[in-house]
Structure 1
Amino acid sequence: MLVLEIIVVLAAIFLGARMGGIGIGYAGGLGVLVLCLGFGLEPGSIPIDVILIIMSVIAAIAAMQVAGGLDYMVKIAEDILRKNPKQITYLAPTVTYFMTLLAGTGHTAYSTLPVIAEVAKEQGIRPSRPLSIAVVASQIAITASPISAAVVFFSGILEPLGVGYIQLLAIVIPTTYVACMITAFFSNFMGKELKDDPVYQERLSKGLVKLRGETKVEIKKGAKLSVAIFCVTILSVVTYATLISKKVGVIVDPSLPRNEAIMVFMLACATIISLFCKVDTSKVISASTFKSGMSACICVLGVAWLGTTFVGAHINEIKGFASDLLNQYPWMLAVTLFFASMLLYSQGATTKALMPAALALGVDPTTAIASFAAVSALFVLPTYPTLLAAVEMDDTGSTRIGNLVFNHPFMIPGVIAIALSVIFGFMFAGVII
C-alpha cells in the first residue's frame, strides 16, 4: 500500500507539472482525494497560515502595483543596470534578489527580465548569463525575505526550539546573497560568447534580434509614496516581530501574534496605499501580481496538503528510516529539500510539507536553517513561470532549453548557488545560534 500511495503522490505532482501554472495545485487536491477515499488516509493539515500570509502580502503588492510603485521600482532597477552595463551579471541578480527580498515573492522579477536582456545585448554580453543567475537569485531570495510565507512559517516552528526570527534572518540573508554573487562570477564563463553563438548569428541574419533601447515608462503621481508606505510596513513588521520575540522580550504575551501581525500590517498597508495614492481598488484584482499571487495560493494549498497527508500517515516509518540517516549525514536534508521543491514548485509548500517532519525527526535547528535555501530548486524543471519568461524575453536565443530538457542555462547556476548557500549556512548558523 505504501508503494501505491507513493505512486499516487508522484503521479499527482507529475500531472500538475504537465498542466503547468495553477495546475500543480489542482492536481495536489486530486492526490489528496485519492489518498483519503482510495487508501483511507486522514487528510493532513492545510497550510492555512502560509496561504493567508501570501494573500495578505500580495494584496499590498498589488495595490502598490496599481499605484505605479512597481513601475517606479523597475525604473530604479533599469537606471542601476544602465549606469553600470559591464557589471550586468552581478547587478541583475542583485536587483532581482532585493526586489524579491522586499516583496516576498519572486514574481516581481518579470518586470526586470526584459531590461536585463536588453542591457546585455547592448553590451554584446550573452544574455543567458545575467538572466540565468537573476532568475535563480529571485527564487533563492524567498528564503531570505522577512515577509515570505516560507520564512514566516519556518521561523514559527523554530521559535519553540530557541531560534528567533531575527537570528534566522541574520543567517539566511547574508548566506544566500553572497552565494548568488559568487555564482554570478561563474556565470560570466558559462556558454559561448554571444558573437560566437551560431543560434544568435542565425537569428541576427534573419532580423529576429532587435534592440529596443531604454524603456519609457510614465511614473504615476502616487508611485513613490506607495513604495515608501510599503517599505515602512516591512520595517514595521520586522520591528514588531523583534519586540515580541522571546529572545528580546520587550512585549511580553502580545495580543497580536506574529503571523496575524504580518497579515494585518499588510492589509493596513494596502488600505493606506489605496487611500493616499488614490488607487482604484477595482483594478487590484486585475493586477498581474494579484493573479500570480492567488495562483500561488492554490498551488500551495494543493501540493502542501498532499505532502502533509502522506507524511502524516507515515511519520513513524519515516522517522525510523530517516532519523539515523539524517543524524549521520545532516547534508542529506538539503538534498531531500532540493528534490522535493523541484517537484512541489513552491518554497512555502516545501517548507510546510517537510520542515516540521525534519525537526520532528530530531534534526538540529542549525542543520535545518543551513539546508533551508535548498527549498528553492524551482529552476530544475524548465517550466517555472519566471524561467520561461526569461527564455521568451531573450530574442538572441542564448537562453534556450536544450533537447535533453535539463540542459538549460539555469541548472548550473542554480545548483552552485544553493550548494554555496547551504555551505555558508552551516558556517553562519554555527556561529549565530
Structure 2
Amino acid sequence: MDILLILQIIVLLGAIFLGVRLGGIGIGFAGGLGVVVLTLILGMKVGNIPWDVILIIMSVIAAISAMQLAGGLDYLVQVAEKILRSNPKYINYLAPTVTYVLTLLAGTGHTAFSMIPVIVEVAKEQNIKPSAPLSIAVVSSQIAITASPVSAAVVYMTGVLEPLGWSYPLLLGIWIPTTFVGCMLTAFIISKITDLDLSKDEVYQERLKNGLIKASTGAIHTEVKPGAKLSVLIFLLGVLCVVFYATTISDVVRKPMLDYVNMLIAEGSSLSALAEFVKSYIDPVRLPRDGAIMSFMLSIAALIVIFCKINTAKIFEQSVFKSGMVACVCVLGVAWLGDTFVAGYKGQIQDIAGDLATKLPFLVAVAFFFASMLLYSQAATAKAIVPTIVAALSISATSDGSVAANSYILVASFAAVSALFVLPTYPTLLGAVQMDDTGSTRIGKYVFNHAFLIPGTLAIALSVALGFLVAPLF
C-alpha cells in the first residue's frame, strides 16, 4: 500500500467523519469537500454524480410534499394510529409494518417521521420501552426502500438486472416478501430477547423523577383537511400507474405483447388500429422507467395542486420537502465522494471482489452493508458498487434471454444496501432518539452502541438470507 493510497483513504474516511460531526446536511457538504481534496490535491479522477438518483428523490419528495400540504399525510397518520391503537400489545409488529408500508408506497423512509410520536405514545401506554418498536420501525422504513416500486434504488437495480434476465415484477415479487418477512422475524426476535418493561428502565425512572416525561395525550384527533383523502387517492393511483407502466415496459411483458400486437396488425384484425396505437408506445419504449417515475410523480403533484386547491408557495415549507432536499444534498456529496474513490481503484477492487464473491457469495451483501453505512443512500450505494460487482463476477446478458449466471447474488444481496443505521446520523434515527422522552432510545457513549444497531443488522441479515433462499429458484 503506497503513501498516496493511504492519504486518499484518510481523506475518504476523514470527510465522512467530519460529515458525521457536522450532522444533517453537513454530511453532503463534507462529501463535496472530500471530492475537492481527492481530485485537486491527490490527483484522482472525479467520479460520476448520481443525477438520476437525485432527480428521482426530488420528484418523489415533491409529490409527497404536495400530499402533505393537502393534509393527506396527516390522514394516513390517523389511519396508522388507529391500527396501532387497535392492538397496542402488538406494537412491536404493527409499528414496523406501518412504516414499511408507508415507505413501500412513498419510496422514501422520511414518511416514518410522522409515525415516531405515535409509536412513543402507544408504547408508553402499554409500559413497553419505546426503543423496541421505534428501532424496528426505523430500520423497516430503511429496508423497505429496497422493495418500493418508486424508489431510486429499485429503479436503478431493475435497470441493471433486467438485461440479465430478471423482470421488474419478478424482482418486486422477491424483494417485497423477503424484506418484509425479514423485518417481522426481527420484530419477533427483538421482542423475545429484550426486556420490554419500561418501568424497570433506570434512565426512564430518572427522567420520570425529574418531570421530563410527557403525559400521554391519547389518540390524535386533528381535523382532516377537505382535500386530504383526495390527495391520498391521487397519490396511490399515481403509484399504481408507475407500477403498471414499469411492468408493461419490462421485457418479460413487452416482448409477448409486441408479438401479439404484430399478429393483430398482420391479420388485419378489427383491433389493428388499437394494436398500432399500443405498438407505438412500446416499440420503442418512449419513456424509460426512471423518466417515467420522475414525470409521473411530478404529474401527481400537479393533480394534487389542481384538484385539492393548495398553494404551491407553501410546498417548500413542508417537513417532508425539507428533509427530502437535505437527503438530495447528502446523496450528492457523499455518493460523489464514494464514486470518486471507488472508480479510482475499480480494477483492484474487481480482482479482489471477483475471487472472494465467487467462493463466498454472501460477501457481496457484506460489501453493500459497509458501503451503505458510508455512502448514506441505498441508491447511491447500488450505483457505486453494483457495476464493480457485475464486472468482478463476469456477469453478462445471455443470448436467449435466460437469467445470467451469478446474477442471483445481486438480487439476494440487495437489501444489504440499507445499513444507513450503523452511524447514528440518519434523520429518522435521530428523530426517534429525540422524540422518545423516556430515554430508552439512546445513543451510547461509544457511538456504535445505539438502539438501532442490533435490530438493523439482524433485519438485513435475515432479509439477505431469505433472498439467497428465494432468488436462486429463478
TM-score between both structures, scaled by the size of structure 1:
0.97
Equivalent runs, 1:140-289 vs 2, <5 Å: 140-189=143-192, 190-191=194-195, 193-209=197-213, 210-249=215-254, 250=257, 251-289=282-320
CA contact (8 A) 2:142 2:418 kept: yes
Matched, 1:25 2:28: yes
Distance (whole Å) between structure 2 residues aligned to residue 7 and residue 327 of structure 1: 30
Look up the match of 1:40: 43
Look up the match of 1:324: 355
CA contact (8 A) 2:132 2:196 kept: no
Distance (whole Å) between structure 2 residues aligned to residue 405 and residue 40 of structure 1: 33
How many angstroms does 1:378 deviate by?
1.2
Matched, 1:336 2:367: yes
Distance (whole Å) between structure 2 residues aligned to residue 360 and residue 121 of structure 1: 51
**SS of structure 2 residue aligned to 1:228:** helix
Q: Residue 350 of structure 1: which of 349, 356, 381 is its match?
A: 381
Cα deviation per residue 1:130-164 (whole Å; 9 max; x = unaligned)? Answer: 11101111111111111111111111111221212
How many angstroms does 1:307 deviate by?
1.8
Q: Residue 393 of structure 1: which of 426, 435, 458 is its match?
A: 435
Equivalent runs, 1:345-384 vs 2, <5 Å: 345-362=376-393, 364-384=406-426
CA contact (8 A) 1:244 1:252 kept: no
Distance (whole Å) between structure 2 residues aligned to residue 161 and residue 2 of structure 1: 34
How many angstroms does 1:14 deviate by?
1.4
**SS of structure 2 residue aligned to 1:380:** coil
- More displaced stretch, 76-85 vs 332-341: 332-341
- More displaced stretch, 330-339 vs 267-276: 330-339
How many angstroms does 1:3 deviate by?
2.2
Distance (whole Å) between structure 1 residues aligned to residue 196 and residue 175 of structure 2: 33
Q: Residue 406 of structure 1: which of 425, 442, 448 is its match?
A: 448
Cα RMSD for the two superposed structures: 1.3
Distance (whole Å) between structure 2 residues aligned to residue 29 and residue 110 of structure 1: 27
CA contact (8 A) 2:128 2:196 kept: no
Q: Residue 115 of structure 1: which of 118, 123, 131 is its match?
A: 118
**SS of structure 1 residue aligned to 2:326:** helix
Distance (whole Å) between structure 1 residues aligned to residue 334 and residue 181 of structure 2: 31
Kindly provide the amino acid, as one letter, of the partner of residue 450 in structure 2.
Answer: H
Cα deviation per residue 1:255-307 (whole Å; 9 max; x = unaligned)? Answer: 11111111111111100000000010000111111111111111111111112
Matched, 1:417 2:420: no
Kindly provide the amino acid, as one letter, of the partner of residue 28 in structure 1.
Answer: G
Distance (whole Å) between structure 1 residues aligned to residue 61 and residue 301 of structure 2: 9
Kindly provide the amino acid, as one letter, of the partner of residue 305 in structure 1.
Answer: W
Distance (whole Å) between structure 2 residues aligned to residue 55 and residue 180 of structure 1: 27
Cα deviation per residue 1:84-105 (whole Å; 9 max; x = unaligned)? Answer: 1111110000000000111111
Distance (whole Å) between structure 2 residues aligned to residue 349 and residue 300 of structure 1: 7
Equivalent runs, 1:124-135 vs 2, <5 Å: 124-135=127-138
How many angstroms does 1:373 deviate by?
0.9
Kindly provide the amino acid, as one letter, of the partner of residue 349 in structure 2.
Answer: I
Distance (whole Å) between structure 1 residues aligned to residue 126 and residue 376 of structure 2: 34
CA contact (8 A) 2:35 2:337 kept: yes
Look up the match of 1:63: 66
CA contact (8 A) 1:230 1:269 kept: yes
**SS of structure 1 residue aligned to 2:253:** coil
CA contact (8 A) 1:130 1:187 kept: no
Q: Give percent identity, aligned residues only.
A: 63
Distance (whole Å) between structure 2 residues aligned to residue 382 and residue 25 of structure 1: 16
TM-score between both structures, scaled by the size of structure 2:
0.89
How many angstroms does 1:44 deviate by?
1.5
Kindly provide the amino acid, as one letter, of the partner of residue 156 in structure 2.
Answer: F
**SS of structure 2 residue aligned to 1:248:** helix
**SS of structure 1 residue aligned to 2:252:** coil
CA contact (8 A) 2:25 2:330 kept: yes
How many angstroms does 1:167 deviate by?
1.6
Structure 2 unpaired stretches of 5+: 258-281, 396-405
Structure 1 unpaired stretches of 5+: none
Distance (whole Å) between structure 2 residues aligned to residue 237 and residue 366 of structure 1: 25
How many angstroms does 1:422 deviate by?
0.4
